Every structure is written in structure tokens, then in C-alpha cells.
Structure 1
């Protein structure tokens, strides 16, 4: 099962991980979050991101999700794209993350396709006559769920909370 690392402007990474905990009733294993604050040292964050990838990566790799292409968090995430079995996607939104969690047991390239599809399909104009979506369900990924406050890493400036595998 692929690990997932969210790297975003503070506090978005942690907020997205908390949304997953809300949806799944606990934080699925191997989901990390790095919140990049305005005063973060990018060199330190890159080192912490590399350490998180090593902690989170599984047999089928790891997926890094970042918020806005070209911004500091995505530039940090881009450094991880050269790591074997790691893929990086910019433009993270909650539908992308939910889809990534749902399909993280698939091969890494399939996971990337599913996450990208979730991101684009999750952006919709809602009209009064629009029927509800046909399928809102997703089977939670296997593995231990813990409260997200105890799982993963959170970067605020240069500080990280203890990580949970």
C-alpha cells in the first residue's frame, strides 16, 4: 500500500489529513503532512520531506500531493520526484486525496491516474436540477487507523511532531 505525503502551505496539509480522519473515522496508516509556513527554511523542509518519504514509502512506493504548482511547497515536493517509486502531483484537493487513499493498494501509476481523475471529477458546478452523484462510497484502505493528531509529521516552521508508522 503506497504511503501518502501531503506538502502544502500551512495549515492545509494537516487540515487535509484531518479531513481524511473525519471521513475514515481515524487516520489510515502511512499518511503524512508537512505544513510549510512562511518562515520555513526550504532546505530543512526538503530534508524533512525526504525523511518522511523514507518512513511512509511501501512496496508500491509513495505519492506526494502538494497544493499549488510553482509555490514553495510544490518546489519542495518536486525534489522528491527523482526518488525511486515516488510520484508527485500538484493541485491537491479533497477529492484527489480521498481517491488516493481509496486506491493506494494499486500499482503506483494506477494510483496517480485515479488521484488525478478524482481531482478533476471533484470540481463541479452545482445547479438546482443536478441529480446527486451515483456513488459516494469508498472502502477504507486496510491498515490501522489512529487519530491524525498522533499520525504523520506536521511541520510548523521547522518543528515536527512525533511520527507514527
Structure 2
């Protein structure tokens, strides 16, 4: 089973995790890590290491982070490159991605990552209102 570390700047990761559990039920082996304003990358690395200790040694792990190139991404990347056979990193966290994460937990790591990317992208949409429906307010 794939384990997840959901990470973000501020409390976003905690809030989206709680929202996902409202929709999909509480999940095992899913941990939230936050980067607080007063913390630096060393603090975040320590938090990631603590989170990883909550999983079994042979678990595959995917880091789901808020922004590509942000501190949560960059620090997770340092870990993932050392364990690339067992870990992956996906940025652009949204609720659709997190819900899909719960569905693909038993798939091979590379397949799961592909599905997470696809679900996150397909969740970004806009409302197209036909001209005949638009109001004259």
C-alpha cells in the first residue's frame, strides 16, 4: 500500500486532509506536514523524517505538495532522489488528487503518480455559461 505525506506552506495540508476524510473516510498511512512561517528547510526536513517513521520501512511513499519549486517540494525532492525506487513527489495538490490517491494505493508507484497527475489536471475546469442563459443584471 502506498503511504502519503501531504505537505504545504501553512495549514493547507491539514485542512485538505480533513476535507478529504469528510468525503472519502479517514485513511491510514496518510500524514500531514506543514511549513510554518517561522520554520526553515531544516525544520521541514526533520518533520518529513518524523512523518516517514510512521510508515513501515518497505512502504512506498508519495509526497503530495502544494507548489512545484516551493520549500515543501524542494525539501521532499532531497529525500525522494535518494529513494527514487520507493518514493515519488507530485506537486499541485488539490482535493481531486487526494481523493484519487486513496483509490490508487495498491497500484505500482509509477502508475499511481500518472493517475494523480491526470486527476489533478482534470479537476481544473471553468464554467461555460451559454449566451442564452446569461443574465442581464
Q: What TM-score results when the alignment is normalised by the length of structure 2? A: 0.85
Flag the structure with more relative contact order, 1 or 2, with Cα contacts below 8 A and sequence separation at least 6.
Answer: 1
1:6-21 equivalence runs, <5 A: 6-21=6-21
Q: Which residue of 2 aligns with 1:41?
A: 40
Q: Please give the root-mean-square deviation of Cα atoms over the aligned residues, in Å.
A: 1.7
Equivalent pair of 2:24/2:99 in contact (CA under 8 Å): no
Max Rg structure: 2
Equivalent pair of 1:6/1:66 in contact (CA under 8 Å): yes
1:16-165 equivalence runs, <5 A: 16-25=16-25, 27-56=26-55, 59=58, 61-84=60-83, 85-128=86-129
Q: Which residue of 2 aligns with 1:150?
A: none
Structure 1 residue runs of 5 or longer lacking an equivalent are: 130-165
Number of residue-to-residue matches in the alignment: 128
Following TM superposition, where does structure 1 have runs of at least 4 consecutive aligned residues deviating by more than 3 angstroms?
57-60
Higher helix share: 2
CA 1:7 to 1:80, structure 2 compared with 1: closer, same or farther past 3 Å? same
Q: What TM-score results when the alignment is normalised by the length of structure 1? A: 0.71
Encode CA deviations 1:23-72: one digit per residue, 9 max, x unaligned: 123x2101100111111132122022023124235745011011111222
Equivalent pair of 2:65/2:91 in contact (CA under 8 Å): yes
Q: Which residue of 2 aligns with 1:147?
A: none
